[in-house]
């Protein structure tokens, strides 16, 4: 595995202002907002496509495209957009006829980082590190991105993974959540998951009392 960082940064203006065709709002499919997710769907997806924005960008690639040993499973930088300007006004107007659409106006901007590296060996197949964090301010997201990039840059992955695997007795008996935390700290990252993700199998952490 040979990681290379791509030249992408976080969106600094996370607002959709361009309206869509009124009929799309009045008659389009809408099944509610998952405010803990980045991926848009239904009417929200139409607004993203109309504004020509995307919720995710690649962060790292493996130049060797490894399928054995150390493998980059996925990585990404994410942004959840809110609505402003004419798009917000259009949603407010449509909400007079479809009150459920007003829920979209509660969406707040959010930024996220995600890095997942695993090991595929002849006698071992395990997650090495999985960092998945969300932030409600651009400054926090940018700081976290830089900090994790420092971890990636300074790590000799072959050496550290060999050491991690040699200490398997220290973490193989832990719960999935505690294994995540052990491995993240092993590589110098303070915590890998946060409290915004609604999946029950992940450990939640409260950040300054804020919720989605």
- For the chain, what are the domain ranges? 3-186
For 186-209, how does the pLDDT look when each residue is reduced to its tens digit (9 = 90+)? 998 876 555 434 333 333 223 333
Model pLDDT, residue 200: 33
pLDDT of amino acid 43? 95
Whether the Cβ atoms of residue 59 and residue 75 lie closer than 8 Å to each other = yes
Q: What is the maximum alpha-carbon separation in the chain?
A: 62
| Buried/exposed code over 153-173 (b: 16+ C-beta within 10 A; e: otherwise) | eebebeebbeebeeeeeebee
**Per-residue model confidence (pLDDT) at position 32:** 86
The pLDDT value given to residue 209: 36
On the question of pLDDT at 9 being above 80, the answer is: yes
Least confident of 34-43, 109-118, 150-159: 34-43
Token readout for 104 is 């979209």
Q: Which residues pair with 127 in a beta bridge?
A: 118
Percent helix, strand and coil across the chain, each to the nearest 5: 35, 25, 40
Residue 168 has what pLDDT?
92
CB 151 within 8 A of CB 116: no
pLDDT for 198? 36
Q: How far apart are CA 7 and CA 48, in angstroms?
A: 22
pLDDT, tens only, 121-179: 888 889 999 999 999 999 999 999 999 999 999 999 999 999 999 999 999 899 988 88
| pLDDT of amino acid 122 | 83
Per-residue pLDDT tens over the stretch 58-104: 999 999 999 999 999 999 999 999 999 999 999 999 999 999 999 99
The per-residue pLDDT for 193 is 54
């Amino acid at each position: 595995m040979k990681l290379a960082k791509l030249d992408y940064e976080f969106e600094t203006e996370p607002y959709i202002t361009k309206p869509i065709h009124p009929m799309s709002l009045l008659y389009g499919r809408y099944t509610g907002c998952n405010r803990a997710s980045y991926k848009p769907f239904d009417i929200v997806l139409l607004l993203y496509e109309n504004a020509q924005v995307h919720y995710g960008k690649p962060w790292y690639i493996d130049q060797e495209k490894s399928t054995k040993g150390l493998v980059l499973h996925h990585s990404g930088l994410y942004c959840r957009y809110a609505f402003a300007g004419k798009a917000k006004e259009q949603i407010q107007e449509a909400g007079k006829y479809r009150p459920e659409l007003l829920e979209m106006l509660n969406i707040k901007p959010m930024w996220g980082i995600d890095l997942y590296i695993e090991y595929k060996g002849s006698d071992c197949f395990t997650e090495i590190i999985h960092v998945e964090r969300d932030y409600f301010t651009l400054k926090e997201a940018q700081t976290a991105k830089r900090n994790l990039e420092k971890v990636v840059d300074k790590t000799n992955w072959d050496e550290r993974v060999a050491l991690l695997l040699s200490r398997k007795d220290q973490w193989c008996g832990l719960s999935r959540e505690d294994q995540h935390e052990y491995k993240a700290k092993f590589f110098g990252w303070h915590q890998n998951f946060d409290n915004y993700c609604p999946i029950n199998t992940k450990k939640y952490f409260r950040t300054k009392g804020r919720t989605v």
